């Protein structure tokens, strides 16, 4: 019911968010011990929905989306999936030990009165990828990107451009994550979509991309981590997944997948009840070699509706 209502409201199965993780092959998802979870607090979280976090590689900027409970027609959104206006915000800090600063809303040429969310950054920090249903789309939610000259200015994003209707479809094509291929100029873009060929509400997909020529390959379903349920996010660096597939604790959960020696994805496993609950746990944005995860949840005790939490692998705390 939750997914169907969301499909009816915006013509897609789910919003997603994504993060560019630190470039490393080491994962802590399966190390001994649980996760220590805490709310990021009132500076970041509000009475509205605060979700879709993206922690930057240096850990000094946190992009996220705020979904307003009050809808355009004056009614109150029933839940996060019923929100009709999401805006992208960013909060920064001077060091990893410093507190987060007051979030700033990105300019109006990025944010509209529709849905903008699901930020990820290119490894060099010049490109921001995000999703929108109100800019010039091929239908529904599409993937856009925006360029900035100054990688130190988190508000200096230029006019967005659609990745094109050879990449986007009339269905939902959202949450792209840019993965630079090792020892290569080529990249792989991971995203989720309910396009033709999907086996569930939303599936994980990928396409190859050559930044020199701007050429994209055909999209390929990542079947090993797709399911008849709904896949909201796949982080290709650390293998963290947001999904509501069977075997979870309820709502969306955070899962993890490894790759074999040939680079193929393996069936994912649930991260367990030290991080997942019967409520929503959504798109995980990893940091510090996957030891830390930023994620949204609507569990009791939050500040608003969906709040952003931080989880740290307990066995690795010093």
pLDDT tens-digit map of 25-40: 334 454 445 999 999 9
Considering the entire predicted model, what is its pTM? Answer: 0.88
pLDDT of residue 254: 97
- Collapsing DSSP states into helix, strand and coil, what is residue 194? coil
pLDDT digit string, tens, across residues 262-279: 889 999 999 999 999 999
Are 9 and 236 contacting, i.e. CB atoms less than 8 angstroms apart? no
By the 10 Å C-beta count (0-12 exposed, 13-18 middle, 19+ buried), 26 is classed as exposed
pLDDT of residue 315: 59
pLDDT of residue 181: 77
- Closest Cα to residue 34, out of 310, 271, 270? 271
- Gap between the Cα atoms of 26 and 234, Å rounded: 17
CB atoms within 10 A of CB 167: 21
Are 103 and 37 contacting, i.e. CB atoms less than 8 angstroms apart? no
DSSP structure class, residue 227: -
For residue 89, which phi and psi values (nearest 5 degrees)? -125, 165
For residue 80, which phi and psi values (nearest 5 degrees)? -60, -35
Residues of the chain with confidence (pLDDT) below 70 = 1-33, 315-318
As a residue count, the chain comes to 318
- Gap between the Cα atoms of 173 and 16, Å rounded: 10
């Amino acid at each position: 019911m939750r997914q169907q209502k969301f499909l009816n409201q915006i013509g897609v199965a789910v919003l997603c968010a994504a993060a560019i993780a630190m470039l490393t092959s080491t994962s802590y998802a399966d190390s001994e011990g649980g996760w220590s979870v805490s709310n990021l607090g009132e500076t970041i979280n509000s009475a509205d929905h605060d979700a879709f976090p993206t922690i930057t590689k240096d850990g000094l900027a946190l992009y996220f989306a705020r979904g307003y409970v009050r809808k355009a027609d004056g009614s109150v959104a029933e839940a996060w999936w019923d929100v009709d206006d999401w805006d992208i915000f960013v909060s920064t800090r001077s060091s990893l030990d410093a507190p987060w600063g007051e979030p700033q809303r990105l300019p109006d040429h990025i944010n509209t009165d529709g849905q903008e969310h699901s930020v990820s950054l290119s490894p060099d920090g010049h490109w921001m990828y995000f999703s929108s249903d109100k800019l010039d789309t091929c239908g529904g939610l599409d993937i856009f990107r925006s360029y900035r000259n100054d990688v130190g200015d988190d508000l200096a994003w230029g006019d967005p451009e659609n990745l094109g209707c050879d990449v986007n479809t009339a269905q939902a094509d959202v949450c792209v994550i840019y993965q630079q291929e090792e020892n290569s100029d080529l990249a792989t873009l991971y995203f989720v979509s309910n396009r033709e060929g999907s086996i569930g509400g939303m599936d994980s997909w990928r396409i190859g991309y050559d930044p020199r020529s701007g050429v994209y390959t055909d999209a390929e379903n990542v079947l090993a981590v797709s399911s008849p349920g709904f896949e909201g996010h796949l982080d290709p660096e650390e293998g963290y997944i947001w999904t509501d597939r069977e075997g979870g604790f309820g709502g969306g959960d955070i899962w993890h997948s490894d790759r074999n020696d040939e680079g193929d994805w393996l069936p994912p496993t649930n991260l367990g009840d030290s991080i997942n609950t019967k409520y929503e746990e959504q798109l995980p944005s990893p940091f510090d070699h996957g030891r830390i995860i930023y994620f949204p949840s609507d569990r009791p005790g939050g500040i608003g509706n969906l709040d952003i939490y931080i989880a740290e692998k307990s066995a690795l705390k010093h």
